[in-house]
């Protein structure tokens, strides 16, 4: 089973700042990585798939990069609605599909 | 409009079973896979299993083998997840999630149900 480790656990930033979230896989997963955003009381929402492709309707301030074992989600300039929990997910070697433990992005 | 609509919250006693439904609309149900993902309170996401809605083939996370059944009814455009021998650790929100298409290139995990809260308590 591939383990995904996200860092940091919590990120405290202000609106307008740049956010950088990391996800590391326990072995190479090529580019089979996705990022999800989850707000309280809501289902997760797909942001990025195949490491760097934005899902339909996702603003351009969200971008993904990386391949192999190290991946990054960048939010170029934080909007108030971006404060949420973010999860990475791999579907390279599955089953099982696995998720990271999440990064909480909070307002500073 | 594409949607996945799940059945309502359930409260079950330990040892009982629960069956959660997920009705799809707005797309050709039989040409996509369907996954189930759960989230315990305050925890991350955990993949439970998936079904090929066309041929009914399934796979599950090893820890659920023997306890989980995933089925589908193509005439109703619905998928079902049944979990038996419930214990308190199964208390979670259960989501159905559209997977990949079996007939064309499509983005998996782009469509989620609203979630079904299952509470296991004596």
Q: Which of B102, B112, B118, B113 is nearest to B30 (CA)?
A: B102
Q: Quick one: tokens of A14?
A: 């202000």
- CB atoms under 10 Å from CB of B96, counted, come to 32
pLDDT of residue A79: 98
Q: Quick one: tokens of B108?
A: 């998996």
pLDDT digits (tens, 9 = 90+) for A23-62: 999 999 999 999 999 999 999 999 999 999 999 999 999 9
Nearest CA in chain A to B42: A40
Q: Are strands B18-25 and B32-39 parallel, antiparallel or unpaired?
A: unpaired
pLDDT of residue A93: 82
Q: Do residues B61 and B48 lie in contact, with contact meaning Cβ atoms separated by under 8 Å?
A: yes
Report how far residue A52's alpha carbon sits from residue B57's, in angstroms, rounded to the nearest whole number: 30
C-alpha B65, offset from chain centre: 15
Q: Which chain B positions have a beta carbon within 8 Å of A101's beta carbon? A: 44
Distance from B110 to chain A by nearest Cα, in Å? 6
Report how far residue B65's alpha carbon sits from residue B28's, in angstroms, rounded to the nearest whole number: 29
Q: Quick one: tokens of B116?
A: 């079904």
pLDDT of residue A14: 98
Which residues lie below 8 Å from residue B42, measured CB to CB, with a gap of 6+? none
Q: Cβ A44–B45 below 8 Å, yes or no?
A: yes
**DSSP three-state, residue B51:** strand
Q: Quick one: tokens of B118?
A: 């299952």
Q: How many CB pairs under 8 A join A and B?
A: 50
pLDDT digits (tens, 9 = 90+) for B62-106: 999 899 999 999 999 999 999 999 999 999 999 999 999 888 888
Nearest CA in chain B to A100: B44
pLDDT of residue A68: 97
How confident is the prediction for chain B on average, in pLDDT? 96
Helix locations, B1-122, DSSP H: none
């Amino acid at each position: 089973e591939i383990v995904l480790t996200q860092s940091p656990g919590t990120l405290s930033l202000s609106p307008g700042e740049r956010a950088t979230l990391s996800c590391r896989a326990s072995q190479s997963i090529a580019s089979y990585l996705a990022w999800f955003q989850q707000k309280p009381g809501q289902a997760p929402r797909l942001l990025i798939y195949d490491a760097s492709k934005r899902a339909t309707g996702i603003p351009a301030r969200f971008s993904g990069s990386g391949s192999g074992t190290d991946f990054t989600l960048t939010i170029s300039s934080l909007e108030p609605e971006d404060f949420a929990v973010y999860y990475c997910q791999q579907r390279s070697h599955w089953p099982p599909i696995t998720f990271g433990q999440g990064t909480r992005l909070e307002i500073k | 409009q594409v949607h996945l609509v799940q059945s309502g919250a359930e409260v079950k006693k330990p040892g009982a079973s629960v069956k959660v439904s997920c009705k799809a609309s707005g797309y050709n149900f039989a040409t996509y896979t369907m996954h189930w993902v759960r989230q315990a309170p305050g925890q991350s996401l955990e993949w439970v299993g998936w079904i090929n809605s066309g041929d009914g083939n399934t796979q599950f996370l090893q820890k659920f083998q023997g306890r989980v059944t995933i089925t589908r009814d193509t005439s109703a455009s619905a998928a079902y997840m049944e979990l038996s021998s419930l214990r308190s650790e199964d208390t979670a929100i259960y989501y159905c999630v559209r997977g990949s298409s079996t007939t064309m290139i499509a983005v998996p995990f782009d469509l989620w149900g609203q979630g079904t809260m299952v509470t296991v308590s004596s």
